Structure 1
């Protein structure tokens, strides 16, 4: 299992960060520019990663003000889980951690680890920008 993650502190209360992340419609704002054909509902998102793959994700688990877990709806290039964990740092500051867990063979790990880490870093930074 390959685990890729990054965290940031956001100057918003925990519940506000959770509410934003709990709606897949908001996740388009966190995506890099190589993502297109985005369609979403509150629970699902479908999009294309330029020169790579089409992906459809759904929120499979919600733990109020703690964690959101997304998994592929359709077959993905490899088994993958996306997880947002949020913890209070104080009453007005939330620590958000984005974790990608992927089953990668050695070849896929060499090819995918870099892009997946960039995606995690980008989304964490965008979440901080979007929520201020």
Structure 2
């Protein structure tokens, strides 16, 4: 299952974004209003949103053009990638891409909430 967030312009350099996105605690500021719990860890974070199970993510790759978060749970196989394309000194185009391997039943249940989550993260990033 592949989902894409819209391309947004963030008024920060790609270097500033990478510094922020490699710090697990900084993800709290990007979470939607429905956030119920958030716990930063050394290499990632876990959180829960109203009406959804707890999700644990680990920061698996960081480069000057992308940050990749992967599921920390062995029974779920997915990643959320943030791609960054510098436009100007203090402007970066960002897009969130989700890629998950789910059975059809799980896909049907999670596709809409995941798309809403990606859209909410994009909205939060755009306001930075």
Counterparts of 1:53-132 in structure 2, within 5 Å, are 53-63=53-63, 65-76=64-75, 78-129=76-127, 131=128
For these two proteins, the number of residue pairs brought into alignment is 127
Q: Which residue of 2 aligns with 1:10?
A: 10
Q: Which residue of 1 aligns with 2:25?
A: 25
Q: Which runs of structure 1 show a deviation greater than 3 angstroms over 4 or more consecutive aligned residues?
A: none
Task: Give the Cα–Cα distance (whole angstroms) in 1 for the partners of residues 36 and 45 of structure 2.
Answer: 11
Q: Which residue of 2 aligns with 1:35?
A: 35
Q: Structure 1: which 5+ runs fail to align? A: none
**Structure 2 contact 18–62 (Cα < 8 Å) conserved:** no
SS in 1 for 2:88: coil
Q: Which residue of 2 aligns with 1:45?
A: 45
Structure 1 stretch displaced more, 116-125 or 51-60: 51-60
Q: CA deviation at 1:125?
A: 0.8
SS in 2 for 1:87: strand
Q: CA deviation at 1:4?
A: 0.8
TM-score by length of structure 1 reads: 0.86
Q: CA deviation at 1:92?
A: 2.3
**Structure 1 contact 69–84 (Cα < 8 Å) conserved:** yes
**Structure 1 contact 13–91 (Cα < 8 Å) conserved:** yes
Q: CA deviation at 1:69?
A: 1.0
TM-score by length of structure 2 reads: 0.88
